[in-house]
A and B are shown apart, each in its own frame.
Chain A
Amino acid sequence: MNQTIEELTQELRQELIKQLNLEDMIPADFDENTPLFGEGLGLDSIDSLELVVLLDRNYGIKLKDPKEGRQVFHSIRTMAEYIQKNRAQV
């Protein structure tokens, strides 16, 4: 699938809202560089599990090293870049 980074970030924003029940939020509410955890969207450890499942289910990418998740799930942008890179390797 040839998705641009922009298309992928837009898709991820929608998926995150749906998967993580981010009520009262629309994709335009957060920037692609907004940190997902901490002071950004304030996601927690259960959300990170949901994100691992989302990567596997939607993009066929298994995150094997938990330490890697810290960088991958930093923002929508880092997730999109990771997806694009690892999809290309398949």
Chain B
Amino acid sequence: MAGKAQYFIQGIGMISPQKTFDNQMFLEEITTYDQNVLTAVVPDFKAYINPIQLRRLSRMLRVGLASATICLRDAGIEHPDGIITATGYGFLDETEKFLREMLEMKEKQLTPTHFMQGTYNALAGLEAVMIKCMGYNNTYVSKGFAFENALQDAMMRLDEHQAAHYLVGSYDEAAPVQFIASIREHHFKAEPIVNLNLFDTTTKGTIQGEGAAFFDLTGTRHENTWCELLDVAMVYRPETKDHLAASLADFLKANNISLEEVDVWLNGITGDAVRDVILKELEHSDLKAIPQARYKHLCGDYCTVTSFALWLGASVLKKQSIPEVVKASAFETPKEIKTVLSVSHYMNRNYAFMLMQRA
């Protein structure tokens, strides 16, 4: 838990395998996939990035920079006080090109672009250059906890300076090389499925996703605030459901929230019959009575996928609606949605809680 300060989300830019880049829409057009790889639905990049800069940027850098621009425009901020990004695997596609070139050229005559764009902090650096942000700039690469680490960093910095604005972002791409490697360790399903049927499957593995998200996090409430982010917590490899449930109880208690006060919870299950066991047990016991929404059938699974959950929770709170496509079962949307809880896992290893409240 960070300090006693408050944290508000003032702007969002989310590019995901669904059409989420348009903040006026809320999952009204759903894209379906049938090959276990969900790739970003992208806007016209020229609307967000200078065409001269655009030509050299890799696909994922374009996605990242565009989502940062969407966020800043949404927040009405030109110069944030700092930029904090998170990624599990970085720009794998560019890294692969660079490594392949090293092999082909026998480590000689390497072009600089693939190297520059293959580094983990390329997005945070380029965004800083693009908007001339000379402030704090950091990138977390802690796999399934990277996004939570970035959020906590921003929250701790806001504890010291409430009026500041931090551009907190995440990105991970659905790279083919990772897909092939992940099939071997059964992270992704071997048999093709339709993404919307993800939660009906009974096999091991999930589907690959990708996305870039940026949030303008600040310590003061503004007119167009999306929601208040109450807290973020992480649990590494809980041994049992009871272990996870106890951690969740501690988390809620620390924020003076009871389970009864949670209007909807975002379930981060992945459709993996083996790795979902602990979260499913929690779903059928402690969280059974709370309306539930799911999202990984829409965006797939990747290290920083909890940024999609944060976008979903913030959208539910701001728009006061829950799209049918995310409802785990039929339930009537509460008249007022005040509190949203996110409980997720990555590879049954990195469990995270996020608590959001209507601002």
Tell me if chain B binds chain A.
yes
A 18-54 to B, binary, CB cutoff 8 A, 1 in contact else 0? 0111110000000000000000001000100110010
A44 to chain B, nearest CB (A): 8
Band of interface residues on B? 10 to 19
Q: A20 near B55 (CB under 8 angstroms)?
A: yes
Residues of A within 8 A of B111 (CB): 19, 49-50, 53
- A21–B55 Cα gap in the complex (Å)? 6
User: Chain B interface secondary structure, helix, strand, loop or mixed?
Assistant: loop
Q: Is A85 an interface residue, CB under 8 A from the partner?
A: no
Residues of A within 8 A of B112 (CB): 46, 49-50, 53
Q: Is B246 an interface residue, CB under 8 A from the partner?
A: no
Residues of B within 8 A of A6 (CB): none
Residues of A within 8 A of B47 (CB): none
B 101-134 to A, binary, CB cutoff 8 A, 1 in contact else 0? 0000100011111001000000000000000000
- A57–B83 Cα gap in the complex (Å)? 37
Q: B116 near A46 (CB under 8 angstroms)?
A: yes
Residues of B within 8 A of A46 (CB): 56, 112-113, 116
How many A-B residue pairs have C-beta atoms within 8 angstroms? Tell me: 25
Q: Is A11 an interface residue, CB under 8 A from the partner?
A: no
Q: A20 near B56 (CB under 8 angstroms)?
A: yes
Q: Is B2 an interface residue, CB under 8 A from the partner?
A: no
- A26–B170 Cα gap in the complex (Å)? 35
Band of interface residues on A? 10 to 19
Q: Which of A40-73 contact B (CB under 8 A)?
A: 42, 46, 49-50, 53, 56-57
Q: Is B330 an interface residue, CB under 8 A from the partner?
A: no
User: Chain A interface secondary structure, helix, strand, loop or mixed?
Assistant: helix
B51 to chain A, nearest CB (A): 8
Whose C-beta in chain B lies nearest to the C-beta of A49?
B112
Q: B105 near A57 (CB under 8 angstroms)?
A: yes
Q: Which of B251-300 contact A (CB under 8 A)?
A: none
Whose C-beta in chain B lies nearest to the C-beta of A57?
B109
A54 to chain B, nearest CB (A): 8
Residues of B within 8 A of A21 (CB): 55-56
Q: Which of B24-63 contact A (CB under 8 A)?
A: 52, 54-56
- A14–B5 Cα gap in the complex (Å)? 57
Q: A23 near B54 (CB under 8 angstroms)?
A: yes
Residues of B within 8 A of A19 (CB): 111
- A79–B111 Cα gap in the complex (Å)? 18
- A64–B55 Cα gap in the complex (Å)? 28
- A13–B55 Cα gap in the complex (Å)? 16
Q: List 23 A–B pairs whose Cβ atoms lie within 8 Å, in order of A's numbering.
A: A19-B111, A20-B55, A20-B56, A21-B56, A22-B55, A23-B55, A42-B52, A46-B56, A46-B112, A46-B113, A46-B116, A49-B111, A49-B112, A50-B111, A50-B112, A50-B113, A53-B109, A53-B110, A53-B111, A53-B112, A56-B109, A57-B105, A57-B109
Taking beta carbons and an 8 Å cutoff, which residues of B are in contact with A? 52, 54-56, 105, 109-113, 116
Taking beta carbons and an 8 Å cutoff, which residues of A are in contact with B? 19-23, 42, 46, 49-50, 53, 56-57
Please give me the 6 A-B residue pairs with the lowest Cβ-Cβ distance, nearest first: A57-B109, A21-B55, A49-B112, A23-B55, A53-B111, A56-B109
